[in-house]
Structure 1
Amino acid sequence: MEEPIARLRLGEFELGQTIGTGTFGKVKVAVSTKTGMTVAVKIISHSIIKRLDMAKKIRREIENMSRFSHPHIIQLYGVVSTPSDIFMVMEYASGGELFDYITKHGQLAPEEARRFFQQIIAGVNYCHKHLVVHRDLKPENLLLDQYNNVKIADFGLSNMMHDGDFLRTSCGSPNYAAPEVLCGNFYCGPEVDIWSCGVILYALLAGTLPFDDDSIHALFKKIKAGIYFIPTHFDDEVSNLLQMMLQVDPMKRATMQDIIGHEWFTTDLASCLFPNSNETSNIVDVSVIEELSKLYHMPEAEITTALLANEANDISQAYDELIKVKRAVSDQQSPSTRNNSLHLDLGLAGLSLFGVGSPGSNSSSYSTPRPRLDASPLSEPLASPARSTRKAAKWHLGIRSHAKPHEIMGELFQALKRLDYEWIIVDPYHVVVRKKMRPGMSKAPNIGLQLYEFRSSYYLLDFKSLVEESNSPTSTEQSSPSDSMVDFEGLDVKELQDDISAYITPRGSTLPFFEMCTELLSQLIK
């Protein structure tokens, strides 16, 4: 009699077949032995992380994914670090890649393409509102669940948008990359995602890419010039939207609100994608509370209390899973049946995702932020379909000028002298300034002033609020090797999220920062 094959275990999860393999590791399906719930587990070896110098990439992916809880973004349930590997436990999307779906079906009907595109934009909009730019949006990184709903995945090339920062890294796949990325120019971030979304929309409707060529040189030339062909079966509305999104000049490119308010986009738009502000303020779904009460044999009041604790626990995880399924089912039903009560037997009673640790350990190696109870903005209310004259999006605080760089910096130093500010010169076009401390004065913030070439002979003097080194989550990272396994030992997703929040909005420094900016701007425009 043959002995049963030993299965690899990760806490309560039994790892199954490999569903994806790449340079950075592999992805396996895993099933909870307690509840039968299926998840995806991304496994990355510490040796690969060290050899390919990937520590920052993996940490960035974990940090950014830990911030999200959205129906169209793959949910990160937690992270487990062992001496040999990192395990990222994530939501499982059984439908495969959108790329394979397009390859199989070719050009999609406008209604189906629009539904996919609406979900993609809802997810990307959510990322941008949480100050994260994906930078590698393409059909291969868009997964489908069992209901054919889009799930944005792979945040390894994503980046945080800090106040005043411009990005310059060339990321992503060439066919989907914006012209400014290929040129190596500075960019804010959201506009490169919008370009990629435009390319994806074209691919959904045409079954081919707008920019494609066997020669990389020729491909880059087409993208930089914005040369593409619009098929005759595209209607006028979607052609107009594509032209807005595939503008070579990022300042003229459509903004997220332009897209959300466009006539083609708003047709048959599901209300749950961009709920009104009064809808997002509803803390819990009563029907889901009732279902959880039955599953856990607990009073509804106790269920609600557990959710409002804003902590990772079995009930909060089960609540999120029920919400996701309810939304998916609602999306598939006719309007006449959508108000029926929720009766779902998902086997979620006793769900214990938060006891996962290294095999043989009873302690948890990770926790997950409570995702849905803080009423964080999924989006702003829908814009009116009627578009007004669009203005270029401004993602900076500062002054733009056609003057020569040395003249701009000369005026800046004169203004700093008149204000009696102190400064440190980082380089000829980058200084850090502050008010001189005097008795009785509260501590003033430090401001970074940096001059960028925005366009040819057009410069931006950017103002940035600087965070104290001790508060910055990067301070400790800089003091240790980036490829060290220690970077991931005891990694806690919730702590990472708290660190990021503290870095973006240091408490109590916003008003003094703007007061100093006002003083400086007043001097510069005299």
Structure 2
Amino acid sequence: MTPADAASRKAPLGGAAPCPPLPGPPWFRLGRALSKSDSAVPPARAEKPPLEQLYRQGPLLGSGGCGSVYSGTRLADGAPVAIKRVSRERISEWARLRNGALVPLELALLWMVSRPGFRGVVQLLDWFEVPEGFALVMERPQRCQDLWYFLHQRRFLTEPVARGLFRQVLEAVRHCSSRGVLHRDIKAENVLVDLATGEAKLIDFGCGTILQDTIYTRMSGTPEYSPPEWILVGCYHGQPATIWSLGILLYELVCGHLPFHTNEDIVRGQLVFPPRVSQECQHLIRWCLSMEPTHRPCLEDLFEHSWLQEPCLAQETAEMHP
């Protein structure tokens, strides 16, 4: 991990795009899609006490283009939580609930992927409309670290450790796809690692949207993870763009730095690997980072790749600690 990589931890693009958005209010289009499924977010109960009576807000954990996240505690049982506050003027896309109310699209997406029994995505526990906007209450593992800092402490990850974490990220992405959600900002900073268990969770759906088969003409995410088709033609399909970002993530895990830093780097597509990276791992990364979107694997292809077929080793959990 180099100083240049540390300096390049840029905030997400936050929905900015050179192309105009699709015609019509985004919340109407997305709200219609949500209201046709059982995934629509239920309205908050009118009798629910205010946020301050149920949760205690603690220190700031981090902030970005989509809001500020604070540590917190659930007063009923002392459980640790994360409280994300999003101001109304920073919300670029909305979803309409069954009762007609508008909520941030991020809230709706979190509700869609929050399902009991699946632990690979951060769970939405509660939400509130507050004077300045909205507060989202999410689970917070007590001993956790985002994957960027986890990697930074070790410079790079051995392939067994990278394999175990990457496999969990793939499971999370598959779960999101099954729920009709496109994350759009898969990167090391948005993967939370529980240092006690080695469990990985995909977090921060602030750049996410509804998964569709047709092209997207707006980009949200982090510039260094942008696929070449976005740079060259200003549009992309959701699944191939996701595969590209997964290739960037895996390269960063095993090499210790990002492969590309500028649009020119991305379009050039030149990859250099240190000798320690196995040929199988290199093949998987190169496949994900194919310049032509149709040449990239689908998600199920990744699960079947020989590099990911290696059995899990005890070493994977043992190396969670620095």
Instruction: State TM-score, norm by structure 2.
Output: 0.73
Among candidates 89, 93, 97, match of residue 137 of structure 2: 89
Residue equivalent to 1:34: 76
Q: Does residue 1:150 correspond to 2:193, yes or no? A: no
1:37–1:109 distance in 2 versus 1, CA, 3 Å: same
1:61 alignment partner in structure 2: 106
The structure 2 residue matched to 1:78, chosen from 108, 114, 126, is 126
> Do the aligned partners of residues 236 and 24 (structure 1) sit closer, same or farther apart at CA in structure 2, a change above 3 Å counting?
closer
Greater relative CO (CA pairs within 8 A, separation 6+): 2
Q: Distance in 2 between matches of 1:44 and 1:240?
A: 41
Query: Letter of the aligned partner of 2:62 in structure 1?
Result: G
| Partner deviation per Cα, 1:283-305 (whole Å, 9 max, x = no partner) | xxxxxxxxxxxxxxxxxxxxxxx
Give matches, 1:244-263, under 5 Å.
Answer: 244-263=287-306
Does 195-204 or 85-94 show the bigger shift? Answer: 85-94
Deviations 1:301-331 (A, max 9, x none): xxxxxxxxxxxxxxxxxxxxxxxxxxxxxx9
Structure 1 distance, partners of 2:257, 2:127, is 37
* Aligned partner of residue 104 in structure 2, secondary structure: helix
Contact kept? 1:9, 1:15, Cα under 8 Å: no
Displacement of 1:23 in angstroms is: 4.1
Distance 2:159 2:224 in 1: 22
Aligned equivalent of 1:283:
none
Instruction: Spell out, residue by residue over 1:440-486, the C-alpha distance to the aligned partner (whole angstroms, 9 max, x if none).
Output: xxxxxxxxxxxxxxxxxxxxxxxxxxxxxxxxxxxxxxxxxxxxxxx
1:73 positional shift: 0.7
CA separation of 1:231 and 1:99: change in aligned 2, threshold 3 A: same
The structural deviation recorded for 1:55 is 4.9
Amino acid paired to 2:239: P
TM-fit CA distance, 1:230: 2.1
**C-alpha contact (below 8 Å) 1:168/1:184 kept by paired residues:** no
State the shift of 1:170 in Å.
Answer: 2.3
Local SS of the residue matching 1:193:
helix
Residue 210 of structure 2 is aligned to residue 160 of structure 1: yes
Which sections of structure 2, spanning at least 5 residues, go unmatched?
A: 1-49, 96-102
Task: Confirm or deny: 8 A CA contact 1:244 1:253 kept in the other structure.
Answer: yes
Contact 1:181–1:187 (8 Å) recurs in 2: yes
Judge conservation of contact 2:83–2:135 (CA < 8 Å) in 1: yes
Distance in structure 2 (CA, Å) of the matches to 1:131 and 1:53 = 21
2:57 and 2:204 map into 1 onto residues whose CA distance is 20
After superposition, the C-alpha distances for 1:242-277 in whole angstroms (9 at most, x for unaligned) are: 11111010000111111000111121259xxxxxxx
Deviation at 1:194, TM superposition (A): 0.8
Cα deviation 1:201-223 (Å, max 9, x = unaligned)? 011101011113xxxxxx21221
Question: Matched residue of 2:294: which SS?
Answer: coil
Measure, in 2, the Cα distance between the counterparts of 1:231 and 1:152: 28
> Which residues of 2 match residues 115-194 of structure 1 at below 5 A?
115-146=164-195, 147-162=197-212, 164-194=213-243
Asked if residue 223 in structure 1 is aligned to residue 261 in structure 2, the reply is no
Aligned length: 255
Q: Residues 167 and 24 (structure 1 numbering): CA distance in 2 closer, same or farther, change over 3 Å?
A: closer
CA distance in 2 between partners of 1:91 and 1:119 (Å): 18
Matches for 1:328-477 after TM superposition, within 5 Å:
none
TM-aligned CA distance change 1:53 to 1:35, over 3 Å:
closer
Letter aligned with residue 253 of structure 1: R
Find the structure with the greater CA-based Rg.
Answer: 1
User: How far does residue 53 in structure 1 lie from its aligned partner after superposition?
Assistant: 5.2
**Displacement after TM superposition at 1:186 (Å):** 3.2
- Helix, strand or coil for the counterpart of 2:293? coil
Look up the SS of the partner of 1:67 in the other structure: helix
- RMSD of equivalent CA atoms: 2.3
The 8 Å contact of residues 118 and 269 in structure 1, kept in 2 or not, is answered as no
Cα separation, 1, equivalents of 2:91 and 2:134 = 15
Give the Cα–Cα distance (whole angstroms) in 2 for the partners of residues 83 and 115 of structure 1. Answer: 42
Q: C-alpha displacement at 1:89, in angstroms?
A: 0.5
Distance in 1 (alpha carbons) for counterparts of 2:166 and 2:79: 29
Aligned pairs (5 A) from 1:232-271: 232-269=275-312
Could you report, residue by residue, the CA deviation over 1:85-125 in whole angstroms, capped at 9, with x for unpaired residues? 41101011441211111111111111111111001111011
- Percent pairwise identity: 26
Is the 1:161–1:188 contact (alpha carbons within 8 Å) kept by the matching residues of 2?
A: no
Structure 1: gaps spanning 5 or more residues:
1-7, 213-218, 271-330, 334-526
Change (3 A) 1:171 1:23: closer
SS at match of 1:27: strand
